[in-house]
Amino acid sequence: MLVLNLACETGHSFEGWFASANDFESQQQRGLLSCPLCNSAKVRKMPSAPRLNLSAAEPAPARRRAPAAPSPEPTAPVLPPGAPVIAAELQKQVIQAVRTLMANTEDVGDRFATEARRIHYGEAQERGIRGRATPDEARELADEGIDIVALPVPDALKDPLQ
Ligand SMILES: [Zn+2]
């Protein structure tokens, strides 16, 4: 299993679990990755950060856009001393939430958009489902008023539950 540090275009950093580097590339190319905090699909791989080194005095450096104060150099955000720990805690909660979600939903795989639509229109039994949708499919569902939540569910979490 490969744990990668990822970040979205607005600078949220989070962790992604993948079977391999190819798995990451493939999910990224198919637009399956999105930020758990803002849903942005513009996710990129960050250099390995000292994420596990939480006892270190210095918070992990992170870039953040500062549109109000343009400057030639990227400004380093000022983080409260507890920030890295909070981020780790949040990440843990996200992973736990994903686990709970996966234990309570039916995996419909690539048929996600079809199933979500059938449930919405009363053609299939009302239930929690999870699966994969392309960005286009997700947009179409949203247009039809069908609520879906995009989560970067790591492949590593999927297998043991099946
Ligand atoms: Zn984000």
Q: How many domains does the chain have?
A: 2
Question: Are residues 95 and 137 located together in one domain of the fold?
Answer: yes
DSSP state of 140: H
Assess if residue 15 is contained within a domain.
yes
Distance from the CA of 11 to the center of ligand 1, in angstroms?
6
Q: What number is the average pLDDT over the span 91-110? A: 80
The structure's pTM equals 0.39
Supply the range of the domain harboring residue 21: 2-52
pLDDT of residue 118: 92
Report how far residue 145's alpha carbon sits from residue 133's, in angstroms, rounded to the nearest whole number. Answer: 16
Assess if residue 64 is contained within a domain.
no
**Which residues, other chains included, contact 56 with Cβ-Cβ below 8 Å and sequence gap of 6+?**
50
Answer whether 23's CB lies under 8 Å from 13's CB: no
Assess if residue 58 is contained within a domain.
no
pLDDT at 144 exceeding the cut of 80: yes
How much of the chain exceeds pLDDT 70, in percent? 69
Assess if residue 43 is contained within a domain.
yes
List % helix, strand, coil for the chain (3-state, nearest 5): 35, 15, 50
CB atoms within 10 A of CB 128: 10
Assess if residue 148 is contained within a domain.
yes
- For the stretch 30-74, pLDDT in tens is 888 999 899 999 999 887 644 444 444 445 455 555 555 555 555
Pairing of strands 129-131, 106-109: parallel
Lowest-confidence segment of 23-32, 81-90, 115-124 by average pLDDT = 81-90
pLDDT at 109 exceeding the cut of 90: no
Distance from the CA of 13 to the center of ligand 1, in angstroms?
7
Which 3 state secondary structure label does DSSP give 79?
A: coil
Which residues of the chain form beta strands (DSSP E)? 2-8, 13-18, 43-45, 106-109, 129-131
Where does the pLDDT of residue 93 fall: very low under 50, low under 70, confident under 90, or very high at 90 and above?
confident
Higher-pLDDT residue of 115 and 85 is 115
Assess if residue 34 is contained within a domain.
yes
Assess if residue 140 is contained within a domain.
yes
Answer whether 45's CB lies under 8 Å from 24's CB: yes
pLDDT of residue 101: 76
Distance from the CA of 66 to the center of ligand 1, in angstroms?
15
Distance from the CA of 58 to the center of ligand 1, in angstroms?
23
Q: What number is the average pLDDT over the span 11-20? A: 88
Question: Are residues 104 and 152 located together in one domain of the fold?
Answer: yes
How much of the chain exceeds pLDDT 90, in percent? 12
Question: Are residues 142 and 90 located together in one domain of the fold?
Answer: yes
Distance from the CA of 43 to the center of ligand 1, in angstroms?
8
Distance from the CA of 53 to the center of ligand 1, in angstroms?
23
Assess if residue 28 is contained within a domain.
yes
Where does the pLDDT of residue 18 fall: very low under 50, low under 70, confident under 90, or very high at 90 and above?
confident
pLDDT of residue 153: 56
Distance from the CA of 108 to the center of ligand 1, in angstroms?
26
Question: Are residues 47 and 93 located together in one domain of the fold?
Answer: no
Question: Are residues 102 and 48 located together in one domain of the fold?
Answer: no
Question: Are residues 48 and 93 located together in one domain of the fold?
Answer: no
pLDDT of residue 75: 56
Cite the DSSP H helix spans in the chain. Answer: 21-29, 83-103, 112-120, 135-143, 155-158
Distance from the CA of 94 to the center of ligand 1, in angstroms?
13
